[in-house]
Amino acid sequence: MIAWEANIRRVVPYVPGDQPKGDRLVKLNTNENPYPPAPGVRKALLEMDYDRLRKYPDPIASDLVDVLAEYYGLGSDQVFVGVGSDDVIAMSFLTFFNSAKPILFPDVSYSFYKVWADLFRIPFETPALDAAFRICPEDYFKENGGIIFPNPNAPTGLYLPLDQVEAIIRRNPDVIVIVDEAYIDFGGTSALKLIETYDNLLVVQTFSKSRSMAGLRIGFAMGNPQLIKALNDVKYSYNSYTMNMPSLVLGKEAVKDDTYFKETLKKIIDTRERSKKRLRELGFTFPDSMSNFIFASHKTVPAAEIFEALRKEQIYVRYFKQPRLDDSLRISIGTEEEMNVLFGFLEHYLAERA
Amino acid sequence: MIAWEANIRRVVPYVPGDQPKGDRLVKLNTNENPYPPAPGVRKALLEMDYDRLRKYPDPIASDLVDVLAEYYGLGSDQVFVGVGSDDVIAMSFLTFFNSAKPILFPDVSYSFYKVWADLFRIPFETPALDAAFRICPEDYFKENGGIIFPNPNAPTGLYLPLDQVEAIIRRNPDVIVIVDEAYIDFGGTSALKLIETYDNLLVVQTFSKSRSMAGLRIGFAMGNPQLIKALNDVKYSYNSYTMNMPSLVLGKEAVKDDTYFKETLKKIIDTRERSKKRLRELGFTFPDSMSNFIFASHKTVPAAEIFEALRKEQIYVRYFKQPRLDDSLRISIGTEEEMNVLFGFLEHYLAERA
């Protein structure tokens, strides 16, 4: 072995999901929003001051932070922005999870939590979801170094009612509890209102799903000013300029157009509810999703087989080949047209299989 | 103290430099390029597919990686891209500097090295530059956990000849040596040609200075495929999608327009050489800069006084209030017109002070 190899950080690299290319495909595999960003974003893109690209962006990202603070009724010192919620959460792990005690997150959950814990050498335990894929709050009532869970959970789509979220936060005043609300805009109630009551709560959200901006990479955290300052201290110790100029300019416009935001959400929620009905008719079962995807299992046909059949038709959904998950498909909610292509094929395919 | 405070990572936060706002100011304080990005960047910005913002960007950033590989005559597995060279170097610290032995970097150097070492709890030693601000290669011929230095160095602008760079790399086969070439395009010879000979060498460059794109945040590392894979493994364990869609699309265009790139470099180098002459006439001394800034000290007037006088005129340069640096000003090379405003004022001001 070469000597320097001994000093390389060893990690189990996360493998990003398929990003198939082509125009005719139906892409329901990465929980992207099927509708474009707000019209104001298009306008800002066309009017963007090209010469400004030569200058460093605002390190404080104040335009974006301020518009988020105003939208959510917070002070600007209660909002932190990063390069997608992945950057925000990774930085939160580095900032807040420095105890020798294990942090806690559900065994079935966003797969990156384990990857970040591994990267930063943070001990962790993963309490199991119950048989119906529910988080059991009492599993988090024991000594720990910090807690994180998505709400709604991924890849199940299940929403944990706010009183149960609050119970977890209240029972853990000595550690930071991060509620990862990537999908909260699709019907759940945010824990945001609890940050005035609990100084140990950090709420993380993203522009990638509900705000149609996965391509811009914007995530944000909200919490008490002390937590936000600690995050900024670590951020300024890593990279002063994480948010580039286009993301600051376009992100701001996305927040300003609340009418478009709410209309888009309503369309996706309506399509989701119709999709639930169609899936049930087709013989699928699933936890009741409050997100922009449905985690569905067929009563008779194995998920792996449906996944392959769909892929041959250029219809992409997500399949997780791992215990507890390998009998389900995670199907993102697309446009009505995209869902009709999916259901049209499934109807045909499942009838032939019967 | 609140219990969770004990688990917060304590860092000495880096304070980003002044980003003064206004149209009439002369901004020579952050080493930005005074010329806009390549014309192809403007075209790509206007033609950018707005709907694509809703989708995740390519996690492999292959368009940008490929165009850089082609430009520098490398394989695509020899190039890593990140959110500015700060992101690239921070990730390199996390990836490669995991020895119990101290890493080495010059005492007068890019101030972020110390901040990253602090953030990731990496022990370090800082060999002193000599009285003429030169790096002494033999200071790096001792046991260590890794080496990093800028070439040309910051904030001195001094270039270390390639044979001396090579001596440092050759004498340290057991550790990774990072040559931070943020300013190399302004006249020095890159260590890039050495990566085929030395598997322990990583060369880092940036789009922020020579390519007029500080606002987009693009940096890159070049090295042997094993080093690049290790960096990607850590990157994929942190955030799969660090590079947003605009930076991938616009970055690629910047690399493609080599004629504009070389013309812009020539203009800046010409202005720098004229500026050296003017500064000498005005009574300044300085190390001979091969970068896009000059680190100048006046023979009779203290730097702090000149700095304040310039600031009152809305002419911004950089002043470091720390030992060895506090008698100099770091003056970025602007346009001819900007430099004339600076020299016009200095001529008047210094004559009055005499």
Structure tokens at A171: 């029972």
Q: Are A108 and A203 in a shared domain?
A: yes
In a domain? residue B314: yes
pLDDT tops 70 at residue A197: yes
Facing B239 at nearest CB: one of A36, A55, A84: A84
Identify the band that residue A235 occupies on the pLDDT scale cut at 50, 70 and 90: very high
In a domain? residue B286: yes
In a domain? residue A168: yes
Identify the band that residue B25 occupies on the pLDDT scale cut at 50, 70 and 90: confident
When pLDDT is averaged across residues B72-97 and rounded to a whole number, the result is 98
pLDDT, tens only, B320-349: 999 899 999 999 999 999 999 999 999 999
Task: Kindly report the average pLDDT of chain B as a whole number.
Answer: 95
In a domain? residue B282: yes
Q: Are residues A41 and B57, on separate chains, in Cβ contact within 8 Å?
A: no
State the Cα–Cα distance between residues B22 and B24, nearest whole angstrom.
Answer: 6
Q: Are residues A99 and B200, on separate chains, in Cβ contact within 8 Å?
A: no
In a domain? residue A147: yes
pLDDT tops 90 at residue A250: yes
Contact indicator for A242, B86 with CB cutoff of 8 Å: no
pLDDT at position A128: 97
pLDDT tops 90 at residue A4: no
Residues on chain B touching A233 (C-beta within 8 angstroms)? 11, 13
* CB-based contacts of A250, cutoff 8 Å, min separation 6: A37, A41, A44, A45, A213, A216, B53
Residues on chain B touching A118 (C-beta within 8 angstroms)? 237
> Could you tell me the CATH number of the domain that includes residue A308?
3.90.1150.10
pLDDT tops 70 at residue B16: no
State the Cα–Cα distance between residues B207 and B209, nearest whole angstrom.
Answer: 6
State the Cα–Cα distance between residues B121 and B103, nearest whole angstrom.
Answer: 11
Q: Are B252 and B130 in a shared domain?
A: yes
Facing B237 at nearest CB: one of A14, A213, A238: A14
Question: How deeply is A266 buried, as exposed, middle or buried, from its count of CB atoms within 10 A (0-12, 13-18, 19+)?
Answer: exposed
Facing B240 at nearest CB: one of A60, A86, A215: A86
State the Cα–Cα distance between residues B171 and A236, nearest whole angstrom.
Answer: 34
In a domain? residue B5: no
pLDDT, tens only, B285-326: 999 999 999 999 999 999 999 999 999 999 999 999 998 999
Share of chain A above pLDDT 90, in %: 92
Chain B residue nearest residue A83, CA to CA: B242
Angle (deg, nearest 10), helices A258-281 and A336-353: 10
Q: Are B280 and B169 in a shared domain?
A: no
pLDDT, tens only, B220-259: 999 999 999 999 999 999 999 999 999 999 999 999 999 9
pLDDT at position B2: 82
State the Cα–Cα distance between residues A157 and A176, nearest whole angstrom.
Answer: 24
pLDDT at position A17: 65
CA-to-CA separations, B226 to A342, B99, B176, B202, B229, in angstroms, rounded? 42, 18, 12, 11, 5
Q: Are A183 and A66 in a shared domain?
A: yes
Element at A4 (helix H, strand E): none
When pLDDT is averaged across residues A13-18 and rounded to a whole number, the result is 70
Share of chain B above pLDDT 90, in %: 92
Share of chain B above pLDDT 70, in %: 99
In a domain? residue A181: yes
Q: Where are any strands of DSSP class E within chain B?
A: 26-27, 79-82, 103-104, 124-125, 147-150, 177-180, 201-206, 219-222, 284-285, 293-298, 315-316, 329-332
Q: Are A210 and A145 in a shared domain?
A: yes
Q: Looking at A256, A285, A316, which one is the last position of a domain?
A: A256
Q: Are residues B244 and A2, on separate chains, in Cβ contact within 8 Å?
A: no
When pLDDT is averaged across residues B111-138 and rounded to a whole number, the result is 96
Q: Are residues A7 and B175, on separate chains, in Cβ contact within 8 Å?
A: yes
Chain A residue nearest residue B244, CA to CA: A216
Residues on chain B touching A100 (C-beta within 8 angstroms)? none
pLDDT, tens only, A301-321: 999 999 999 999 999 999 999
Identify the band that residue B4 occupies on the pLDDT scale cut at 50, 70 and 90: confident
Structure tokens at B75: 């394989």
Q: Are residues B56 and A200, on separate chains, in Cβ contact within 8 Å?
A: no
Q: Are residues A56 and B214, on separate chains, in Cβ contact within 8 Å?
A: yes
Q: Are B147 and B53 in a shared domain?
A: yes
pLDDT, tens only, B169-218: 999 999 999 999 999 999 999 999 999 999 999 999 999 999 999 999 99
- Beta strands A201-206; A219-222: pairing state: antiparallel
Q: Are A243 and A267 in a shared domain?
A: no
Domain count, chain A: 2
State the Cα–Cα distance between residues A180 and B11, nearest whole angstrom.
Answer: 25
Q: Are A184 and A75 in a shared domain?
A: yes
When pLDDT is averaged across residues B55-68 and rounded to a whole number, the result is 96
Q: Looking at A256, A274, A302, which one is the last position of a domain?
A: A256
Q: Is the peptide bond before B155 cis (omega within 30 degrees of 0)?
A: yes
pLDDT at position B17: 65
- Sign of torsion, CA B243 B246 B249 B253? negative
Q: Are A80 and A193 in a shared domain?
A: yes
- Sign of torsion, CA B112 B113 B114 B115? positive
Q: Are B171 and B284 in a shared domain?
A: no
> Could you tell me the CATH number of the domain that includes residue B73?
3.40.640.10
Structure tokens at B261: 């790139």
CA-to-CA separations, B301 to A46, A87, B283, in angstroms, rounded? 48, 46, 9
Share of chain A above pLDDT 70, in %: 99
Phi-psi region of A86 (alpha: psi -120 to 50; beta: other; left: phi over 0): alpha
In a domain? residue A4: no
pLDDT tops 80 at residue A18: no
pLDDT, tens only, A29-72: 999 999 999 999 999 999 999 999 999 999 999 999 999 999 99
**Residue A202: domain span:** 39-256
pLDDT, tens only, A335-348: 999 999 999 999 99
Task: Kindly report the average pLDDT of chain A as a whole number.
Answer: 95
DSSP A237: H
Element at A231 (helix H, strand E): helix A225-238
pLDDT tops 70 at residue B74: yes
Facing A244 at nearest CB: one of B199, B217, B230: B217
pLDDT tops 70 at residue B272: yes
Q: Which residues of A16-46 are buried (b: 16+ CB within 10 A; e: fewer)?
A: ebeeeeeeebbbbbbbbbbbbbbebbbebbe
The residue written with tokens 């904030």 in the block is B155
* Residue from B86, B101, B233, B146 nearest A118 by CA: B233
Q: How far apart are the first and last CA of chain A?
A: 56
Q: Are B48 and B77 in a shared domain?
A: yes
* Model confidence, pTM: 0.96
Q: Are residues A234 and B57, on separate chains, in Cβ contact within 8 Å?
A: no
Q: How many CB pairs under 8 A join A and B?
A: 258
Facing A83 at nearest CB: one of B19, B41, B242: B242
Q: Are residues B174 and A236, on separate chains, in Cβ contact within 8 Å?
A: no
Residues on chain B touching A37 (C-beta within 8 angstroms)? 50, 53-54
Q: Are residues B119 and A237, on separate chains, in Cβ contact within 8 Å?
A: yes
Q: Are B227 and B280 in a shared domain?
A: no
Q: Looking at A193, A224, A256, which one is the last position of a domain?
A: A256
